[in-house]
Amino acid sequence: MFVPLAALAGAQLFITVAETVPTFDVTPSCRAAASATGAAGGRMESCLQSEQKARQQIVEEWSRFKPAERAHCVQTASVGGNPTYTELATCLDMTRDTRNPSAARSQAPLAPTTSGTAHSQPRPAQAPEPAK
């Protein structure tokens, strides 16, 4: 069977992307967020710090995800250009929680809040079963 060389190159890129945490240039996204709020200086620095914290958390958890999950989330975070680690972490959080919903309640999210700290909101409790 003949496989075009371009198809093989794309497959290699897909595999390589999933092996290591990608390096994103988050500056354009942080610049846009800072200008949207009107607090360019402080917001820009806060955003960059938050993105670095998100990347570090992803690095620590990366090996716990299957290569296909990692590749999917990298691709998802990159849609539309200007990917961020927060978007990547959110995708990984949802992937992990979907894979194991019962454990999702006890695991801290990878994605930081806009303040740069992990979400601290408690997970909602399950509703009790109706009495019979």
Q: Which domain holds residue 47?
A: 10-101
Q: What is the pTM of this model?
A: 0.66
Residue-wise DSSP of 25-46? --HHHHHHHHHHHT-HHHHHHH
Q: Which of helix, strand or coil describes residue 20?
A: coil
Q: What is the pLDDT of residues 6-30, one digit of tens each?
A: 444 444 444 455 689 999 999 999 9
The CB density around residue 19, as the number of other CB atoms within 10 Å, is: 10
Domain count, the chain: 1
Is 82 inside any structural domain? yes
What whole-number distance in Å separates Cα of residue 6 and Cα of residue 13? Answer: 11
Q: What is the pLDDT of residues 59-103, one digit of tens each?
A: 999 999 999 999 999 999 999 889 999 999 999 999 999 887 776
* pLDDT(118) > 70: no
Q: What is the pLDDT of residue 34?
A: 86
Q: What is the pLDDT of residue 92?
A: 95
Is 116 inside any structural domain? no
Is 118 inside any structural domain? no
Name the more confident of 100 and 123. Answer: 100
Is 77 inside any structural domain? yes
